[in-house]
Structure 1
Amino acid sequence: MRKAEVYRNGVLAGILTEENRNSYRFVYEEAYFMDTQLPAISLTLPKVKREFHSPILFPFFFNMLSEGVNRKLQSLQLKMDEEDHFGLLLETAQFDTIGAVSVKPID
């Protein structure tokens, strides 16, 4: 099982967990969920409930990954399986992301 903290503009928004390659969970942190001034991290993960489950890596997080040649290069540099989407997310979405969301591994 691998876990990551999900931040929106530097504020801890929730925890993303890969239970196995066919089971993913995202849970909003209680304080983030209760604060009505803080927006959902994505339209597909609305703050109408705290916990979400999916048999695939949530599309919002999958779309944070590089594609094509860039993914191949990242996989080679990181010595990772190109199909290890969660692993690539943990390694590449910690810094310098395009949007307001970053993902940091939990050891």
Structure 2
Amino acid sequence: MANKARVFYGERLAGYLERNDQGYSYAYDKTYLKSSDSKPISQTLPLSKYPYNSRVLFSFFDGLIPEGWLLNFATKHWKIKGTDRFELLITLCRDTIGAVTVLPVEEENG
């Protein structure tokens, strides 16, 4: 199970979302921050060189998770718990309607 995800704004890597023992953290990528045309992924997560931390999944990311039939499909066929919002996010938000895409960072072996 992945505990870290890459967050893209359009085609550009914007930052990293991580699930940890304290909850969640989101940090913008340093290269993304250096670009003069970088935009925040959300108004609730303005550009910052400091990471954001939360005990629950940030509402912006939680809002990307689909509802209805796609959520039911994921929980039934991929056997993802409906309460595992991070796993739902990295499974279902690889191709979103908006500009933000979330992809899991595969764990390295060794």
Pair in the same fold by TM > 0.5: yes
Structure-to-structure mapping, 1:11-90, within 5 angstroms: 11-20=12-21, 23-90=23-90
| Cα distance in 1 between the residues matched to 2:91 and 2:48 | 29
Q: Give the C-alpha shift of residue 69 in structure 1.
A: 4.3
| Cα distance in 2 between the residues matched to 1:39 and 1:57 | 21
Determine whether 1:100 maps to 2:99.
yes
Q: In angstroms, what is the RMSD of aligned CA positions?
A: 1.5
| TM-score, with structure 1 as normaliser | 0.90
| Cα distance in 1 between the residues matched to 2:90 and 2:74 | 12
Unaligned runs of 5+ in 2: none
Unaligned runs of 5+ in 1: none
| TM-score, with structure 2 as normaliser | 0.87
- The alignment covers a number of residue pairs equal to 105
| Cα distance in 2 between the residues matched to 1:84 and 1:19 | 13
| Cα distance in 2 between the residues matched to 1:68 and 1:84 | 16
Identity among equivalent positions (%) equals 33
Q: Tell me which protein shows more strand as a share of its residues.
A: 1
> After superposition, what is the alpha-carbon deviation per residue over 1:37-83, rounded to whole angstroms, capped at 9, x for unaligned?
11001100001443100111001100001124432222112111011
